[in-house]
Structure 1
Amino acid sequence: MTVKQDKQDIRKLSVDQLKSWMTEHGEKGFRGKQIYEWIWKKSVSSFAEMTNLSLATRELIDQHFVINSLDVSKQQQSNDGTIKSAFRLYDGNIVEGVLIPATDRMTACVSSQVGCSLTCKFCATGYMDRKRNLDAAEMYDQVVAIARQAEGSFKSPLTNIVYMGMGEPLLNYVNVLKSIEHITSPEGLNMSPKRITVSTAGIAKMIKKLGDDEVRFRLALSLHAANDEKRNQIMPINESNSLDNLADALNYFYKKTGNRITFEYIVFNNFNDTLEDARELWEFTKRVPARVNIIEYNPIAEADFKNADADRLDKFAAFLEDRGVSVHIRRSRGKDIDAACGQLANKQTVA
């Protein structure tokens, strides 16, 4: 796809800026609001679709602007129904997104960066270079595309969104929050923020900023070890964001928002799967109001980690449950097409 650099993406403009631009170019100001609705409420990808605008008006905006929408370059469906998409961006870069169907929900897992800079040792994306942040519209477009897959393949609306794909959302803070604004706004997709979860590897100062901004969406921490020595080994970000610092930031976030946090904990064979590891996790949950998602590990070629055996995983969960921790074991979905947690890395050939 050719990079469109000579014209501005019209989605960079606010509704007030669109109204002003229209009046400056001899059009009625309310046309700007109509354009804004076409873009964010009806999710069009071309000016030709804006059928309540005259041909002359459509030609005018086409002379000055573009809509840098993404394309589904490749789509794969897992044996369990999970759909993974390779999304080609306007500049030719690729990110991946996943539709995870279940009986009671349809979840979109979206990416926030092309690649990642955090080098987590168990995650395929962590072995990629970070090329750039996605803008708000590119994250919004992933949600729209995945919602259409849910309707088309399962005759069901999208119910949940998780920012758990490629990249670290809190290192693309402004664009992530702007995308959520468009997704939750009545002038956009009008989804409830309670249906949206942003997952972070743990950047304390940005977690505090979420609290200061009093966000209404859910927050998940990719924890995976509840002592600093082990966490440093698999997540280098922990060296500058220790568990003590994260506990302080998460409690600040909770105090500001009232939203309980989710700890995501991948159980690796013979690394963090003992009852002593479970005890450390239990102790950490006493410091921060949190529920725990225990996640099966999905092996990747770049790392030697293996999933803990099922019996050990169940005992780990039972230890926590017996001590009053809210625990959910999240089984792998889409593993056969490299769509499961930690496997997104653009490995497939795209058209």
Structure 2
Amino acid sequence: MEKSKLIDIRSLSLDALKTKLTQMGEQGFRAKQIYEWLWVKSCVDFDQMSNLSKSLRETLKENFIIHALQVRQSQVSADKTIKSSFTLYDGNVIEGVLIPAPERMTACVSSQVGCSLSCKFCATGYMDRKRNLNADEIYDQVVLIAKQAEEHYQQPLTNIVYMGMGEPLLNYSGMMKSVERITAPDGLNMAAKRITVSTAGIAKLIKKLGDDEVRFNLALSLHAANDKKRNEIMPINEQNSLQALAEALKYYFAKTKNPVTYEYIVFNDFNDELEDARELVRFCKHIPCKVNIIEYNPISLANYVNADADKIDQFANYLKSQGVITNVRRSRGKDIDAACGQLAIKEKDSKLVEN
């Protein structure tokens, strides 16, 4: 069968795979064995499925395909962060990052090729959105980044953040299926509480997360608790005002009882004054939450600049004085454009590492 007509085997549920095998005259129970190879052992080569007969492996190759991600290149930052570009089966390229820290190893994964939201401070926002990633493409990023953690730092992956390229909630089904495969006992069996999905703020889909009673963590890229300012840097706010987001977050919290994290970049001379902090405190009163103040990573396409360290500390201290749990996050991987807001595909010479 020509390649374009082969079935993407990882797009099938266990029951659907069982049905396909039965229709081919194979024994249905083999589906569970194949599923284990695909999702527990992360196997991307039918020939390596050693407990299947050679004839069954040939049948699989004749009817199915595994669209495995390929590591295109990787760069190591001075702080040991590793950024990788991955080639997809259709030739598109995405990026993912391994962020090592003393207590954790975090994979930052992409959910789309490019992004459609055009946030003014984010490099990915200046790319076109070409398509959503399939669940297996998100899963593969986790597997490959976990392998890097083991090989380079002899540590297992502990956390996953959907904070790479794209808006995860605009790839709702792909994101949710990937989380299911990552957390399922017949998948990677990772705890949902170790996964954080970050959104620029789409009210109706935040409510849908509530309806689906998700167990992973939700982070909202806020960056201003004032509609005029947020509209300026995040056009998505024009259709998803702070009031609409607050209502959606209250609904989400009522359904899940999960506190939310607000991500806030303190931009110089934009959202760094005491009044901005007061507005943020007021927004924080809607539901239990914490604030992560994120260091800004300048990009060539935008003129935003990080506030001075003293200004950031004053901002954070005010939030803390008002009872808001606040963390100041220092950026990782800036020297290789791997830090928050810097992911964008560009050709350049780089320091490569063996994968």
Give the TM-score of the pair, scaled to structure 2.
0.97
Q: Distance in 2 between matches of 1:208 and 1:297?
A: 29
CA drift at 1:348: 3.3
Q: Is the 8 A contact 1:200 1:222 kept in 2?
A: yes
The aligned counterpart of 1:158 is 157
Q: Per-residue CA shift, 1:244-264, capped at 9, x if unaligned?
A: 000000010000001000000
The aligned counterpart of 2:93 is 94
Q: Distance in 2 between matches of 1:213 and 1:287?
A: 21
The aligned counterpart of 1:110 is 109
The aligned counterpart of 2:135 is 136
Aligned residue type for 1:147:
A
Alignment of 1:113-262 (within 5 A): 113-262=112-261
CA drift at 1:5: 2.2
The answer on 1:85 being equivalent to 2:84 is yes
Secondary structure of the corresponding residue to residue 189 of structure 2: coil
Q: Distance in 2 between matches of 1:99 and 1:59?
A: 36
Secondary structure of the corresponding residue to residue 206 of structure 1: helix
Aligned residue type for 2:114:
G
Q: Distance in 1 between matches of 2:189 and 2:111?
A: 20
CA drift at 1:4: 4.8
The aligned counterpart of 2:322 is 323
The aligned counterpart of 1:305 is 304
The aligned counterpart of 1:42 is 41
Q: Distance in 2 between matches of 1:52 and 1:98?
A: 34
Aligned residue type for 2:217:
R
The answer on 1:333 being equivalent to 2:332 is yes
CA drift at 1:22: 1.7
Secondary structure of the corresponding residue to residue 69 of structure 1: coil
CA drift at 1:273: 0.7
Q: Distance in 2 between matches of 1:213 and 1:302?
A: 37
Q: Per-residue CA shift, 1:162-217, capped at 9, x if unaligned?
A: 00000000000011000000000000000000000000000000000000010100
User: Given the superposition, is the C-alpha separation of residues 210 and 290 from structure 1 closer, same or farther in structure 2, using an over 3 Å criterion?
Assistant: same
Q: Is the 8 A contact 1:4 1:91 kept in 2?
A: no
Q: Distance in 1 between matches of 2:103 and 2:275?
A: 35
The aligned counterpart of 2:345 is 346
Aligned residue type for 2:105:
M
The answer on 1:64 being equivalent to 2:70 is no
Q: Per-residue CA shift, 1:296-337, capped at 9, x if unaligned?
A: 000000000001100000000000001111001010100000
Aligned residue type for 1:234:
I
Q: Distance in 2 between matches of 1:81 and 1:182?
A: 28
CA drift at 1:349: 4.1
Q: Distance in 2 between matches of 1:204 and 1:31?
A: 43
The aligned counterpart of 2:18 is 19
CA drift at 1:145: 0.4
CA drift at 1:96: 0.2
Give the TM-score of the pair, scaled to structure 1.
0.98
The aligned counterpart of 2:287 is 288
Q: Distance in 1 between matches of 2:22 and 2:92?
A: 36
Secondary structure of the corresponding residue to residue 287 of structure 1: coil
Secondary structure of the corresponding residue to residue 5 of structure 1: helix
Q: Per-residue CA shift, 1:137-178, capped at 9, x if unaligned?
A: 000000000000011111010000000000000000011000
Which runs of 5 or more residues in structure 1 are unaligned?
A: none
Which runs of 5 or more residues in structure 2 are unaligned?
A: none
Q: Distance in 1 between matches of 2:17 and 2:248?
A: 38
Aligned residue type for 1:115:
G
User: Given the superposition, is the C-alpha separation of residues 4 and 308 from structure 1 closer, same or farther in structure 2, using an over 3 Å criterion?
Assistant: farther
Aligned residue type for 1:152:
E
Q: Distance in 1 between matches of 2:89 and 2:170?
A: 21
Aligned residue type for 1:230:
K
Aligned residue type for 1:243:
L
Q: Distance in 2 between matches of 1:344 and 1:103?
A: 24
Q: Is the 8 A contact 1:71 1:87 kept in 2?
A: yes
Secondary structure of the corresponding residue to residue 94 of structure 2: strand
**CA RMSD, 1 decimal:** 1.2
Q: Per-residue CA shift, 1:223-272, capped at 9, x if unaligned?
A: 00000000000000000000000000001000000100000001111101
Q: Distance in 2 between matches of 1:344 and 1:261?
A: 24
CA drift at 1:6: 2.5
Q: Is the 8 A contact 1:268 1:306 kept in 2?
A: yes
Report how many aligned residue pairs link the two structures.
349
Identity %: 67
Q: Per-residue CA shift, 1:49-85, capped at 9, x if unaligned?
A: 1000011100001001100011000100000000000
